[in-house]
Amino acid sequence: MSQLFPPSFGFYVRLALIAIVVLVTAGFLAWRGLTDAPNVVDEPIEQPVPFSHKHHVGDDGIACRYCHTSVETSKFAGIPPISTCMTCHSQLYTNQPVLAPLVASWTSGKPLHWNRVNRVPDFVFFNHSIHIAKGVGCVSCHGRIDKMPLTRRAAPLTMQWCLSCHRNPEKHLRPRAYVFDMRWKAKNQEVLGKRLVREYHIDKAKLTECSTCHR
Amino acid sequence: MPSIDKTIDQARVDLGAATAPVFDPQAARERLAKAQGPVFWRSLEELSDSDGFRQWLRQQHPQLAETLRMDRRGFLKLLGASLALAGLAGCSRPPQTQIVPYVHGVPGQTAGLPRFFATALVQQGYAQGVLAESNMGRPTKIEGNPSHPASLGATDIFAQAAVLQLWDPDRSHAVMHRGVTSTWDAFDAALLTRRTRLQPDGAGLHILSGNITSPTLSAQLDALLKQFPRARWHMHEPAGVPTRSMYYRLDRAQIILSLDGDFLTDPAAGVRYARDFAARRKPDDPAHPMSRLYIAESTPSLTGSMADHRLPLSSRDIQSLAWRLARRLGVSGATALPALDTELNVEHWLDVAADDLKKHHGQSLVVVGTTQPAWMHDLGDTLNATLGNHGRTMVHIHNVARPPDGDGTLPALAAAMHAGSVDTLLVLDSNPVYDAPTDLDFNTALDRVPHLIHLGLYRDETARRAEWHLPMAHALESWGDARAFDGTASLIQPLIAPLYDGRTASELLARLRGDETHDAHALVRRQWRDKLPDEAHWNAALQSGVIPHTAASTHHPDASPPHMPADTADASNRDDALELLFRPDPTIGDGRWANNGWLQELPKPLTHLTWDNPALISPALAEQYRLANGDVVELHIDGRRLRLPVWIMPGQAPRSVTVHLGYGRRAAGHVGNGQGFDAYALRTSKHPWSMQGLKIEKTGEHYPLADTQHHFNMEGRNLLRVGTLDEYEYNPAFATADDKFPDPTPSLYPDRPFDKYSWGMSIDLNACIGCGACTIACQAENNIPVVGKDQVRRGREMHWIRVDRYFEGDPANPRNYPQPVPCMMCEHAPCEMVCPVDATVHDSEGLNVQVYNRCVGTRFCSNNCPYKVRRFNFLQYADKTTEALMAQRNPEVSVRRRGVMEKCTYCIQRIENAHITADREGRRIADGEVVTACQAVCGAKAISFGDQGDPDTKVSEAKASPRDYSMLKELGTRPHTTYMARVRNPHPDLEGRS
């Protein structure tokens, strides 16, 4: 009986096996490469003016609400108009090249286009004011903004991440007085959190309902 | 498992077999004769209950049937392709978006919060005060202005649709000179030349506009006519009755008799009338006994559907009826009474009505329809004087609108044009090329006008003939002023700079006059400098939306003795021919709203038709000519002809045929072009509302009509409950007398205790007039897409709240009742139990929530919904590419995509925002803090909404009424939307006869 397979067959089998491995690996790598997690955390976003929260908040000690004026009243915290920047920068660093787009905007009246850093999908209706009112600190979602030379996203802002707090708000709540404080740490978060949930009338059952965030 | 091929083939065969059902009058009569108790029906085909109807329902209803025209291979290919594409689409990050803050902050504006501006929208010249919502500078929604007399917080359908009109991408974008894009500078130069040529006396200058109540515009016209004494102003309002010197006080009227008068849809005061009328229709108000409405009308109207007694008479017979009534009330003037061409027992009806009117001296009211001739109005005036109603239920005021000059009519203009004496014609927001009566031959007359200047929102039919077409600023983009039906003046303020560089009529007139001031804001300020001298007064007027103490003064007119015109008194000119009636379309008016998708798709209140205007004929006429719905006929009158389909309208006067104006537009825009049939082609200037001598001819053709009437049929269950006032007084709980189950209905499902709030809604069927304003307000608030005629024909309209209509009794003159149906928010919701992905779930406040981002589109929920209130995005209906339309949307509501189920949410965005405000302040949401869009817009205040868990709220009060009942209670769904049964107030002597 002659051999069923010629000697070269073994070579083809090996080639095929290697090809499968290569293809699978390539496929996997392509998948990883192309499908980034939609929300990249801790990656600085380019801006027309390299605005530094580190400098303004950390070094100069400007309060959050000086610029983000509507954070306590509206869903949107507010990005300041150029006129707010000009309260200082009409006097300070007016000749710096990095501020040229700012000055140009001010003189021409054409607004600056900032690149959005934090974003939730269209079907999520996030509201800043209620979070502030219920004792969620800026730092809980935005991270140590006072240490960011260029603003970056500090949290993934995925549904899972949102729910981790909505399910257990006591782990993250702080007294209203310290909401804007970047350095505040609870001595005993567990005790404090439970007390604040009661004090601020936080309805935990309602927090995980679809209608709270989706409309 | 049945193969997909088989299903498809089956569907194809069924499609072939499914022919539209036909109304069978014989079967209907038999069914009515056999029935005991009230028989409700929704369409004539249903009433006759033919096999054809049942088969048609079975086939038409599974909304998939028509989509399965594709073969299996094609279907799988598409399926594969969309899967592959879906995979690819998931591969990239969301696009980088930008935030563009202001350079200078806007005072008073908080980013992310809506602001409301009091302004006014104008219908046929009359103002309706509104609060326009602006989201970061974008007008997105209209609410009524509670301090405006024509609104009282509600609006009509047109005010709701005004936002879509503002953002309509088809609006005129540029100045056009003989069809070529030009500039305002070029026009200004040309206008200067024209002005010099018109010196010194303005001979040859004619101005055509709609009705004008604006004091600024009127003063400008006065000044212009003084400057150019030989110039002429002409007023043209194709579907309006501009000269008004009185209004009604329906809240004071105990007995109302309407002669063809559809006062509830009055363009100037309809919303107010609905409020006042509903206020007197409460069966258990001790201070105000329930009013009674008699109506004689030629074509069914909303007012007719609210009537306790209704007579379907031809327009001409109504005139005879008026004289008969005059006789009974002791008014003379008719020499010989013309005969009545009807089989109904009119004499007895009139005896009772006249007696009722006489008994309520000073609390009665005779309303004469705007489509009746002037002498009828004089007669009505005399009748009201006799009944002591002047100054009580009928208030006479000095003219609100600018009175037309002697020859200030469209026919006079047309005559001047034909004579060649018109050199420059300035058309201000009017479209005579489309809507002028056909006997004026306006189009030909235009050939003899060298200079036609047209200012308008659209590049319409007239604009296309114009030397200069100028884009007009929308009311939400302009400064101006206007008066309400009672004379109260309002300022019109812009919410946004003109999108397409438009100008207002007064800006144009200022330039024509050579006025130094030609900025609209300055012109209005100058006009009101006496009344609003300083910033404080001006700002107060802007903020409240009304200028105080501007209502027209009242007076008592001398009633002139009525006389009967010769042609009416002469009964001998009647023949076999029919009567042709013209009416403005219920949703697109005289045609100026033709390009508005919301209004086109809003089902016409009485026919439930969308996108079309068939001729309405009576069931008797249909039987005589053997016509079914959609059969095309040719109308012949005075040598003119028009082909259009017919629609059998129960309650239509037997020998009257109604055509609606406003359709058949040729240059309306992408939405309105070519829809429907141009009824202006039959209209003459002498008889604008009714013509005698109509002949109809069956053509044998059939035209597809998109009606929503058959869809969502509820198969004859006790959904709508009606009783008479006597029944109500005998047993206040008559509505629930037949309910077999206790409250709450027993259920195997666990109870759902509510947490802090339990939202509920109550709809008072006694107040609801069925106008459809709720449907369109919901559409505006909730980003509901327009689907188009073809999709409506497949039963895919997306309205979250629909208004069903049920007929009861004889098709020749049925009673009919509207019933708005939003989501019932069932406590034990059948939809929730079948969703495989938990996309529809209950929340702790009694809301049945739809989660779009979870929905995979199985449509099980819709199948299992007994109320059929769920809507599915079969295609990508929401326009995601046209920028202007995206700007219109409510930022608080998701824009749904293809393959997602949606439904009424009780305006959850408004609930959540109230929640956030209240929670922030650490308090409960107050009663009345959450107002749903449908509730806010309702003129009749038929909808109450609130926390039904709290016994002290308005909605709990309504639900505690003995009239409260749940729809399909026997299913044990425990709906949170309940109804208050309708109570009629018939006269005991007439019940059973009308």
In tens digits, chain A (215 residues) has pLDDT values of: 677 888 888 899 999 999 999 999 999 988 877 765 656 777 888 899 999 999 999 899 999 999 999 999 999 999 999 999 999 998 888 888 889 999 999 999 999 999 999 988 889 999 999 999 999 999 999 999 999 999 999 998 889 999 999 999 999 999 999 999 999 998 899 999 999 999 999 988 889 999 999 98
Q: In this predicted model, which residue has the larger pLDDT, B344 or B6?
A: B344
Is B490's pLDDT higher than 60? yes
Q: Encode B668-704: b = buried (16+ Cβ within 10 Å), e = exposed.
A: bbebbeebbbbbbebbbeebbbbbbebebeeeeeebe
pLDDT of residue B53: 58
Chain A, 37 to 66: residues with Cβ < 8 Å from chain B are 38, 40, 45
Closest among B964, B955, B935, B972 to B757, alpha carbons compared: B955
pLDDT of residue B336: 62
- What does the pLDDT average to over B870-879? 92
Tell me, yes or no, if A87 comes closer than 8 A to chain B by beta carbon: no
Confidence of residue B5 (pLDDT cuts 50, 70, 90): very low
Taking the CA of residue A14 and the nearest CA in chain B, the distance in Å comes to: 31
Tokens standing for B520? 């609209």
> Tokens 């953002």 correspond to what residue?
B167
Closest among B399, B425, B491, B652 to B118, alpha carbons compared: B491
Contacts of B245 (CB under 8 A, 6+ apart): B396, B397, B398, B399, B557
pLDDT of residue B373: 87
Low-confidence winner among A149-163, B451-465, B535-549, B572-586 (lowest mean pLDDT): B572-586
On whether the CB atoms of residues B128 and B120 are closer than 8 A, the answer is yes
> CA angle, corner B107, sides to B102 and B108, nearest 5?
115
pLDDT of residue B404: 80
> Tokens 């006994």 correspond to what residue?
B289
The pairing of beta strand B138-144 with beta strand B309-312: unpaired
Averaged pLDDT score across all residues of chain B: 86
Do B892 and A109 make contact, defined as CB atoms within 8 angstroms?
no
pLDDT of residue B106: 86
On whether the CB atoms of residues B45 and B713 are closer than 8 A, the answer is no
pLDDT of residue B556: 81
Taking the CA of residue A80 and the nearest CA in chain B, the distance in Å comes to: 6
Distance spanning both ends of chain B, measured CA to CA: 57
CA–CA dist B608, B767 (Å, integer): 20
When CB atoms are compared, the residue of A105, A127, A214 closest to B916 is A127
On whether the CB atoms of residues B283 and B328 are closer than 8 A, the answer is no
pLDDT of residue B62: 45
Is B201's pLDDT higher than 90? no
- What does the pLDDT average to over B409-430? 92
**Chain A residue whose CA is closest to B907:** A215
CA–CA dist A167, B477 (Å, integer): 47
pLDDT of residue B334: 62
pLDDT of residue B111: 87
Taking the CA of residue A97 and the nearest CA in chain B, the distance in Å comes to: 19
Q: Which helix (H) or strand (E) holds A199?
A: helix A189-199
- What does the pLDDT average to over B480-497? 93
On whether the CB atoms of residues A79 and B101 are closer than 8 A, the answer is yes
Is B933's pLDDT higher than 90? yes
Q: In this predicted model, which residue has the larger pLDDT, B572 or B678?
A: B678
CA–CA dist B288, B277 (Å, integer): 12
Do A74 and B97 make contact, defined as CB atoms within 8 angstroms?
no
Contacts of B344 (CB under 8 A, 6+ apart): B311, B312, B313, B813
Dihedral (CA of B299, B304, B305, B310) sign: negative
Is B975's pLDDT higher than 60? yes
On whether the CB atoms of residues B939 and B148 are closer than 8 A, the answer is no
CA–CA dist B350, A121 (Å, integer): 65
pLDDT of residue B294: 94
Is B13's pLDDT higher than 60? no
Is B916's pLDDT higher than 70? yes
- What does the pLDDT average to over B631-654? 92
Contacts of B510 (CB under 8 A, 6+ apart): B220, B517, B518, B523
Chain B residues within an 8 Å CB radius of A210: 841, 843, 849, 851, 854
pLDDT of residue A22: 95
Q: In this predicted model, which residue has the larger pLDDT, B709 or B429?
A: B429
Is B63's pLDDT higher than 60? no
Q: What is the ipTM of this complex?
A: 0.84
Q: Which helix (H) or strand (E) holds B357?
A: helix B346-359
Is B242's pLDDT higher than 70? no
- What does the pLDDT average to over B10-39? 54
Q: What SS3 state is found at A110?
A: coil
Is B532's pLDDT higher than 60? yes
In the sheet with B802-808, reading across from the earlier edge strand, the strands are B40-41, B802-808, B815-821
Chain A residues within an 8 Å CB radius of B920: 129-130, 133
Chain A residues within an 8 Å CB radius of B97: 115-116, 119
Mutate to test the interface with A, among B832, B904, B912, B925 (most CBs of A within 10 A): B912
Tell me, yes or no, if A94 comes closer than 8 A to chain B by beta carbon: no
Tokens standing for B16? 């072939």
Q: Which residues pair with B115 in a beta bridge?
A: B134
On whether the CB atoms of residues B448 and B231 are closer than 8 A, the answer is no
Tokens standing for B968? 């399909």
Q: What is the pLDDT of residues B441-467, one digit of tens each?
A: 999 999 999 999 999 999 999 999 999
CA–CA dist B490, B216 (Å, integer): 11
The pairing of beta strand B759-764 with beta strand B943-947: antiparallel
On whether the CB atoms of residues B928 and B700 are closer than 8 A, the answer is no
Q: What is the pLDDT of residues B146-174, one digit of tens each?
A: 999 999 999 999 999 999 999 999 999 99
CA–CA dist A80, A69 (Å, integer): 8
Beta-strand runs (E) in B178-291: 180-181, 205-209, 232-235, 246-248, 255-259
Closest among B122, B125, B183, B194 to B155, alpha carbons compared: B122
Distance spanning both ends of chain A, measured CA to CA: 75
- What does the pLDDT average to over B387-398? 90
Do B102 and A113 make contact, defined as CB atoms within 8 angstroms?
no
pLDDT of residue B807: 87
What are the backbone dihedrals phi and psi of residue B367, each rounded to the nearest 5 degrees, phi first?
Answer: -105, 130
pLDDT of residue B60: 47
Is B287's pLDDT higher than 90? no
B74, burial (CB in 10 Å: exposed 0-12, middle 13-18, buried 19+)? exposed
Q: In this predicted model, which residue has the larger pLDDT, B50 or B196?
A: B196
Q: Is the peptide bond before B975 cis (omega within 30 degrees of 0)?
A: no
- What does the pLDDT average to over B584-601? 93
Do B99 and A116 make contact, defined as CB atoms within 8 angstroms?
yes
Low-confidence winner among A104-108, B3-7, B329-333, B723-727 (lowest mean pLDDT): B3-7
Is B36's pLDDT higher than 80? no
- What does the pLDDT average to over B896-908? 94
Chain A, 96 to 155: residues with Cβ < 8 Å from chain B are 105-106, 109-116, 119, 121-123, 125, 127, 129-130, 133-134
